[in-house]
Amino acid sequence: MNELIKKYIKGDRIIWYVILLLSVFSCLVVYSATGNLAYKHQDGNAVYYLFRHAKFLLVGLAIIIAVHHINYKWFARFATVFLYISIALLIVTAVSGVSLNQASRWLTVPVVGISFQPSEIAKLALMMYIAKVLAQFQANDRTADEAFKPIMIHVAIVCGLIFKDDFSTAALIGFTSWLVMMIGRVSMRYLFGTVAAVLIFVSVVIWLSDYVPFLHRASTWKARVERFVGGGDDSEDGSTTVDYQSQRSQMAIATSGVFMGRGPGNSQQRYFLPHPYSDFVYAIIIEEWGILIGGFLIMFAYLILLFRAGVIVRASSRTFPAFLVVGLSTLLVVQAFINMGVAVGVMPVTGQPLPLVSMGGTSTLFTCLAFGAILSVSRNNIEEKELETNTENQ
């Protein structure tokens, strides 16, 4: 068994342990949080969503194993093609996507009837493309500032196709791209100029939302931010109307213990929280497992992922794999902290899932694809080091 693991499971061992930890917590909390959903839609079959989620995790594990055996050079070769395919899918989704929560975010594959979110593909494709372009402009005779224009053109296209229906995902992609470019030594003058331009653009969109029909979602963004900043609107009786989701999430955390919570399967707020198995899964984890065992353990798992990504970057002898790991790991960790920030009430509601923990087929599979790409770089680094050691010993 040990030889089998050594043969097929390679790369950074600690990241594999992080994947295992998040997967185990995912199954436990999804089983607990979907009880009410199973009662409504599956005739009380409490294990239906657990088995469904476990299938996605198993497929995701297979994806990680398969992808981490691929040489990372293939990601660079097909990064541009991958990106343009994802842009084409985003355009199709904007035109004929499946409406969910008043937003066209899903695309259904004809005949087989499988639905997925093209924005998940676009996130990974864009990170690969940014890594490729930044790597091309790191040579001594070129400057990183030359990479700014081609990168920003594609970031603007991707975010522009997503933001109308899913502002939080567009903001996540834009912010992560900004961070990667900063790490890639793009001039701060360009980067902060972009921030100013984006703030002006978003302000204009919100202002136009009352007059332009297809920008109706902007009023939702505005309301969420106002509720978060102002704590709610005062009602006629003098009470304060707080955002329902945030209120329930904070109640789940407040009723938990410091070391141990209510215990697995004993959450009370899962019956009241919208999407306790996805958007607010972190609140359920804390309510059941406590602040230290549940909350901090999950948070540290993502911090460890970021730290180990840094170790992989330092061990990389080439720029593309280094930027690839930076982009993908930053994307996963930033998304995780956005989800956790929403749950504990330090950020407005966004609807971002917790990577590899929240229930969701598309999110789980493409998160696993990102993990596979990170481990691919790690595996190649280890093999290159072993080859150098063997060559020196000969």
Whether the pLDDT of residue 157 is over 60: the answer is: yes
Cα separation, 94 vs 345, in Å, equals 31
d(C-alpha 112, C-alpha 329), whole Å: 32
pLDDT band for 325, please (50, 70, 90 cuts).
very high
Q: What is the mean pLDDT of residues 242-256?
A: 80
Which of 173-182, 194-203, 299-308 has the lowest average pLDDT?
194-203
Looking at per-residue confidence, does 140 or 263 come out higher? Answer: 263
Tell me what the mean pLDDT of segment 182-206 comes to. Answer: 89
Full DSSP string of 198-218: HHHHHHHHHHHTTT-GGGTHH
| 4 occurs within a structural domain | no
Model confidence at 242, pLDDT cuts 50, 70, 90, reads very low
Q: Which of 56-70, 148-162, 229-243 has the lowest mean pLDDT?
A: 229-243
Which candidate, 370, 365, 323, 352, places its Cα nearest to that of 170?
Answer: 352
Q: Is pLDDT at 239 greater than 50 in this prediction?
A: no
Count of residues in the chain:
394
Asked whether residue 109 carries a pLDDT value surpassing 90, the answer given is no
* Residue tagged 């055996």 (tokens): 69
What's the whole-number mean pLDDT along residues 375-380? 95
Instruction: Using pLDDT thresholds of 50, 70 and 90, give the confidence band for residue 5.
Output: confident
**How far apart are alpha carbons 346 and 351 in whole angstroms?**
14
Structure tokens at 274: 């919208």
In percent, how much of the chain has pLDDT > 90? Answer: 47
Residue 247 has a pLDDT of 81
Residues 6+ apart with CB under 8 A from 321: 72, 131, 377, 380, 381
CA-to-CA distance for 273 and 243, rounded, in angstroms? Answer: 12
Q: What is the mean pLDDT of residues 142-171?
A: 88
Q: Which of 178, 135, 148, 181 is nearest to 317 (CA)?
A: 135
Q: Is residue 262 part of a domain?
A: yes
Tell how far CA 240 is from the center of its chain: 33
Using an 8 Å Cβ cutoff, are 347 and 286 in contact? no
Mean pLDDT calculated for residue range 354-380: 93
pLDDT bucket at 210, cuts 50 / 70 / 90: low
**What pLDDT, on a 0 to 100 scale, did the predictor assign at position 233?**
47
Q: What is the CA radius of gyration of the chain?
A: 22
By residue range, what is the domain housing residue 318? 10-231+240-387
pLDDT score of 368: 95
6-10, 42-46, 118-122, 142-146, range with greatest mean pLDDT: 118-122
User: What pLDDT does residue 264 have?
Assistant: 85
Residue 393 lies in a domain: no
What SS3 state is found at 104? strand
Q: Does the CA dihedral 98-357-336-281 come out positive or negative?
A: positive
> Which residue has 């950074």 as its token pair?
12
From 46, 28, 29, select the one nearest 37 (Cα to Cα). Answer: 46
pLDDT at 234: 42
The chain-wide mean pLDDT, for the chain, equals: 85
Mean predicted confidence (pLDDT) in 83-102: 82
Residue 340 forms part of a structural domain: yes
Q: What are the C-alpha distances in Å from 110 to residues 105, 107, 116? A: 16, 9, 12
Between helix 167-183 and helix 148-163 the angle, nearest 10°, is 170
Higher pLDDT, 24 or 263: 24
Q: Within a domain: residue 314?
A: yes
In this model, does residue 188 exceed pLDDT 80? yes
Q: How high is the pLDDT of residue 81?
A: 95
Task: Please give the pLDDT value at position 24.
Answer: 93
Asked if the structure places residue 223 within a domain, the reply is yes
Q: Does the pLDDT of residue 208 top 80, yes or no?
A: no
- Number of domains observed in the structure of the chain: 1
Mean pLDDT of 36-43: 78
Tell me the pTM.
0.89
Of 80-84, 168-172, 304-308, where does mean pLDDT reach its minimum?
168-172
Asked, for residue 258, whether it belongs to a domain, the answer is yes
Confidence band of 174 (pLDDT split at 50, 70, 90): very high
* Domain-located, residue 363: yes
